[in-house]
Amino acid sequence: MNRPTRWHDYITINIYFLGLTTLSQTFGLVFPLLVQMFVGEASKGTYYGIFRLWTLMVALLVQAMMGMISDRSTLRWGRRRPFIFIGTLADLVFITAIGFTAGMEGMTGFWVLFALGILLQISSNTAHGAQQGLIPDLVPEDQRGRFSGVKAILEIPLPLILVSFTVGRLVAAGNLWAGLLVGMAVITLAMLITMLVKEQPLQEAPPRLNWSPFLRLLVMTGAFTAIILLVGQAVQLVGRWLAWLNASPAVLFIVVGFLGIVAMGTAVALGVYLSVNISVGSAAKDNPSFTWWVINRLAYLVGANNLSAFAVYFLQSRLGLEREKAAAPASILIMFVGICILLSALPSGWLADRFGLKRMVALSGFVAAFGTLIALLSPSLPVIYVGGSIIGLATGLFFASNWALGTELVPKNEAGRYLGLSNLAGAGAGAVGAYIGGPIADFFTRYVPEVEGLGYVLLFAIYGVLFLLSVAALTRVKDPKPVMR
């Protein structure tokens, strides 16, 4: 900034993150319910997995591309705000169209929703990619910590609380349109406040856009997606064979659970290996700890992201709730998780310095697995809330300590290139866990209907094991930061 920082700058520069998360959490409740309505109980996990796979991959690519394009914007209105404005207007159009899909039926409704979900990711990430540049553009380096702290509050606990007490209750009452209107109002208000940011247009034309980083990301995303598709299809093929054997529910639970763990673990390890080698080439062999760090990060996020994504279906099957009735407890559960993430993230830096980064990352994996076990012990909503809160505490610790560990492992002069792989881990986690996991849950709905909710109990147990696999991957990472004595 070319002027002193004012109190309202903390709000105007960061408020759009509140809108983005509000929108994300709103559709985290709406999309599963719409998919379920279109495809039915027996196929909802499979088709929601397809939906998440492709929308997440599109989001990853669009966000990266729009960030690069806005970096070089010479528009007089500013580098970032035009993209935020246009992206938000497009969001409103696509959200309205999604609302009208509720009147459709069958697979026609699903594929229309699928297309609109892709378009919404394009518009939303047009704005998101630009929004991420505001702090680096406008905030002096010695103040970025404070601005990032405000960002964290606006991005995690506040929208989760807001959605819990508004959208969640409205959707649970069957008022889909009212829930969507709340999300639309929040993202619009956040965009209008962001327009108050004082941006300065670029004074000189930027150098010619270098597309090689984006093309490298495109190849990585394509390779990762191909692995997920192949592993996912293999799981479904084996599942059909197991159904033909007509084994007992206990045998199926053990065999399919083992199959799911192997499948997701293979997709994580192979996907990361190919992605790292495509991104950094032969340098990956000189820094194996970095590859194992990405595997650790992806394995943990497969568990964390998909526990949230399938929360509506899990609560329906575990507690016997009707479709929309699960939206309210799901939003409250996610609110507890968000608050606990914030609470544990605050002291995590001191804990990491005191006990070591690797120990804190490992602890987060063990605690998250324990929280998952608690949530599965009893079909009781308070018990599930306790388990979710424990997972939230672990995840706050993980986010801070795992990222700090990653920054210590990468070459300082190529940190952006290396750490950019974390975006692939975030999107890949949702894709791996949903595309492979959804059919696993559906398998038990189709072939073992007499044991209600068994599929989602198994699926969440698999995600709990992924937390433990993340700890196993961590053993191959060399901790470069000494423990404070």
Cα angle 440, 442, 443; round to 5 = 65
pLDDT of residue 485: 42
Segments in the chain below pLDDT 70: 1-3, 413-417, 420, 480-485
pLDDT of residue 2: 64
The single residue listed with the structure tokens 């509000």 is 22
The single residue listed with the structure tokens 């990491």 is 352
Sign of CA dihedral 58, 17, 34, 36: positive
Give residue-wise pLDDT tens across range 350-395.
Answer: 887 788 889 999 999 999 999 999 999 989 999 999 999 999 999 9
Any idea where the domains of the chain sit in the sequence?
Answer: 1-201, 212-485
Paired tokens of 393: 């505490």
Q: If you ran DSSP here, which 8-state letter would residue 207 be given?
A: P
Distance CA 420, CA 416 (A): 6
- State the distance between the two ends of the chain, measured CA to CA, in whole angstroms: 40
The single residue listed with the structure tokens 């991957």 is 473
pLDDT of residue 417: 67
pLDDT of residue 357: 87
pLDDT of residue 481: 57
Paired tokens of 17: 């993150």
Same CATH fold, 212-485 and 1-201?
A: yes
The single residue listed with the structure tokens 């194996």 is 288
**Helix 7-39 / helix 44-71 crossing angle, nearest 10 deg:** 150
CATH 1.20.1250.20 fits 212-485, yes or no: yes
Q: Which helix (H) or strand (E) holds 131?
A: helix 106-131
pLDDT of residue 482: 53
Give residue-wise pLDDT tens across range 451-469.
Answer: 878 999 999 999 999 999 9
Distance CA 188, CA 81 (A): 13
The CATH classification of domain 1-201, taken from the options 3.40.50.300, 1.10.150.80, 1.20.1250.20, 1.20.140.10: 1.20.1250.20
| Contact between residue 133 and residue 202 where contact means Cβ atoms under 8 Å apart | no
